[in-house]
């Protein structure tokens, strides 16, 4: 457990906070003094917020569909009503839904991958920036992926490439407003089994071919890492919170790869 108070008195929105990296970020930030607004469309996020409150932290859970403009606007409005303003936004929603060679993706699947892994970050930035511009202060950390250079998840890679471009362009546009915008390109990360899968097919047994396609992603991820292993949630959280803190005050427009040496 972290013992510093880097985020004391600051309000931080963490999206995708019900599970995995988002949950880890929210819990660690709360332990460091942040007023944490945990956002997810899964009601599991309420359990995470309750745990933070029980430990003496400040937390508010919000159920929202961040694949929509309205969902992101409602998220920021709720956070502002509760805590006055938003200091930090961690855009964490995203993740591969299907794993297969690109020629096997259906039209609807390609669109779903882009909606899942690009639009929540686009809408989140759009929703939070007016308040940050008005206050001439703020930090955004976007969660990207080293999968921008990988196999069997091309639509996801394209979405995360968009996140990287968004990060660079917005940082350029808003540096004069006192706003820092960076991204973390996460590598393969060990995490507990998802309580809610990204697609219903994951609830049933994969076909032999689907298992081979997915295993190829795992093998490529490990082989591309100089450390030849997956990282931990804590290793990703540490870098995300570093970029969100004043310790990274001279960093903006940067995509930091956290993949054991795989630069994506």
Residues serving a catalytic function are 156
Please state, as a whole number, how many other Cβ atoms lie within 10 Å of the Cβ of residue 121: 28
The separation between the first and the last C-alpha atoms of the chain, rounded to the nearest angstrom, is 30
Residue 75 and residue 70: Cα distance in Å, rounded? 9
Query: How far, in Å, are 93, 184, 197, 218 from residue 150 at the CA level?
Result: 20, 17, 22, 10
How would you label 134-171 residue by residue, b for 16+ Cβ within 10 Å and e otherwise? eeeebbbbbbbbbbbebbbbbbbbbbbbbbbebbbebb
CB within 8 A of 4, min separation 6: which ones? 32
Distance CA 217, CA 152 (A): 7
Number of Cβ within 10 Å of residue 114's Cβ equals 16
């Amino acid at each position: 457990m972290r013992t510093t108070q880097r985020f004391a008195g600051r309000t931080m929105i963490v999206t995708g906070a019900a599970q995995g990296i988002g949950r880890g970020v929210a819990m660690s930030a709360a332990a460091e003094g942040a007023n944490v607004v945990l956002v997810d469309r899964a009601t599991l996020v309420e359990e995470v917020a309750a745990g933070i409150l029980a430990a003496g932290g400040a937390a508010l859970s919000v159920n929202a569909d961040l694949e929509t403009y309205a969902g992101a606007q409602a998220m920021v409005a709720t956070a502002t009503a509760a805590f006055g303003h938003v200091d930090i936004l961690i855009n964490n929603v995203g993740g591969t839904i299907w794993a297969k060679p690109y020629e096997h993706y259906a039209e609807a699947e390609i669109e779903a991958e882009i909606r899942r892994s690009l639009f929540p970050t686009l809408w989140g930035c759009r929703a939070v920036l007016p308040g940050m511009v008005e206050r001439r202060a703020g930090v955004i950390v976007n969660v990207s992926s080293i999968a921008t250079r990988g196999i069997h998840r091309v639509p996801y890679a394209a979405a995360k490439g968009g996140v990287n471009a968004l990060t660079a362009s917005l940082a350029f546009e808003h540096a004069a407003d006192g706003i820092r915008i960076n991204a973390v390109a996460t590598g393969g990360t060990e995490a507990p089994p998802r309580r809610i899968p990204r697609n219903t097919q994951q609830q049933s047994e994969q076909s032999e071919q689907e298992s081979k396609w997915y295993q190829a992603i795992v093998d490529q991820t490990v082989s591309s890492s100089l450390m030849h292993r997956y990282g931990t949630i804590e290793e990703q959280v540490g870098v995300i919170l570093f970029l969100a803190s004043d310790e990274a005050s001279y960093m903006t427009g940067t995509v930091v790869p956290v993949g054991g040496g795989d630069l994506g």
